[in-house]
Structure formats: structure tokens, C-alpha cells
Amino acid sequence: MNFIYRCDMVKMTKFKRGLVLMIHIFTLPLTNISWTSTDERLLPFVSLERKEKILRYRFSVDRKLSLYAALLTRMELSKLIQIPAKELTFQSSTSLKPKLLSSQQCFFNFSHTHNFILCAISNSAPLGVDTELICNAPLDLMDIAFHSVEKQYITSTPALINQRFFKIWTQKEAYTKYLEVGLTAPIQNINMLDPIFASHMISFIKGNYFCSIYSPVKNQINVLHLKELDIFNYYLS
């Protein structure tokens, strides 16, 4: 595999003629990061493996993010492929991304940080996503993780230095998650500003978070901003 660039051209014969290729993007901010009795009621709606992983986390915010990311993903996959959420089955692997076994034509990835969750679902090809809080950028990482062109772009406008840093950082994470190689790969050799990457990247800011999604296939995009109440109503009503 060429690490620097890989764009899988999906065999479109798998899909019905006339199928609209879509990427559905979901954001979910958490207003309460404490573990509550409501969260306990929601635990049975995830797999036993996911539940065990959630309960191993020491801090409530990590448990909560893991739980709601799984609930959000399961809820939206269920709606899109018309299979009850409780019947969805997933394959955990040693790679960076779990996979949906219930459908061969649906791909997903999610990311979470602080109190924010980003999820993307595609009906055309695997993808990768990442989100980060826009804060004081750890600029010392640029020498080991950023291409020289990216460093010039980030530092050329001091007022935008944090925003641009996390734009590039989330794009690198999204791309390496798509590849399923992680940040252990030589990411300093990747220039995310190169059109070969930029043309496959979706990036936006939601609140104080930078969000990036990498998809190798051109798709229509649908973005939905959710609330915790949407999760409660779906599972507990």
C-alpha cells in the first residue's frame, strides 16, 4: 500500500442503479459529563463488549463519551439501513475501526473528545473522522508531525494559528483512521493542503471543535446536529 496516498475506488456495481451516494454527519455535544442513573439505563442498549469497555474507564467523562458515541452510531445506522438498533452486529478488530456486520453497504467512523462527539456514516466507502477542541495548539508537535508546507500555512497568520493547527491535525487523524494505520505512520510526509487530499476532505467548525471527515468517494453530504434528548427519546421513550 502506498501510505502517502490511497483512494479506494469502490466497486459501484455493488450498489443499486440510481442510489444517491451520501455521507451523513452527526455531531453531539454533551451538556453533563457526570455519570448518571440515566446513563445506567442506557447501558443495556450497547453490546456486552462495548459495555465492558465503557465500565473500564476511570473517569466519568470517558465512560459517557464512549457510551453516547456507541448509542449515536447505533441509532443512526438503524434509521439508515432499517434494521432495529438492538439487532445490529459489529465486528471489533485490531484495526482502528469497528465494522458493521449487519450491512455490507454501510460504513461508519466516530471520534470524541472533551464533551463532543462526531460520527459519519457512508453508503459508498470506508471513511475516517476526527474532532478536536480548538485551544492553545501544541506547536512543538509540528516538527515531528507536520509537512513543511503545512507549517508555513499554520504560522503565516498568527490570529488563526490555533484554528489552522487543529484543521490540519484533524485532517491527518481522519486520513490515517481511514487507512487504519493511526498516527504511528510517518504523517510528517503527508501534506493535507495538497489537492489530492483536500478534494476528499470535509472540514468544519462546530462550536469550539474542529471536525474533519475523509472520504475517498465524492458524495452528497447531510449534516445533523443532535442533542442528548434525541438519544433519550430514541432509546428510553
* pLDDT digits 0-9 by tens, 9-23: 333 334 444 567 899
Average pLDDT over all residues of the chain: 89
pLDDT exceeds 70 at position 160: yes
Same domain, 108 and 138: no
Pull the grid cell for residue 207.
462550536
- Give the CATH number of the domain where residue 189 resides: 3.90.470
Considering the domain architecture, whether residues 34 and 107 belong to the same structural domain is answered as yes
What integer is the mean pLDDT of 152-181? 96
Confidence of residue 217 (pLDDT cuts 50, 70, 90): confident
Contacts of 166 (CB under 8 A, 6+ apart): 132, 133, 134, 137, 210
- Look at residue 97 in the predicted model and tell me its pLDDT: 72
| Nearest-5° Cα angle at 222, 219 to 226 | 145
What pLDDT score does 95 carry? 55
The answer as to whether 6 is a domain residue is no
Answer yes or no: do 122 and 138 share one domain. Answer: no
> Alpha carbon of 222 to those of 16, 24, 28, 119, 132: distances in Å?
20, 5, 15, 12, 21
In a domain, 9, yes or no: no
pLDDT at 221: 94
Query: Distance between CA 54 and CA 63 in Å, rounded?
Result: 5
Instruction: Report the alpha-carbon distance of residue 24 to residue 122 in Å, rounded.
Output: 6
Give yes or no: residues 187 and 222 share one domain: no
Residues 117 and 232 in one domain: yes
Per-residue model confidence (pLDDT) at position 19: 61
Range of the domain at 119: 20-127+216-237
Contact 124, 15 (CB under 8 A): yes
Quick one: average pLDDT of 159-185?
92
Q: Is the pLDDT of residue 94 over 70?
A: no
pLDDT at 91 over 90: no
On the question of pLDDT at 6 being above 50, the answer is no
Q: Given a cut of 70, is residue 150 above it in pLDDT?
A: yes
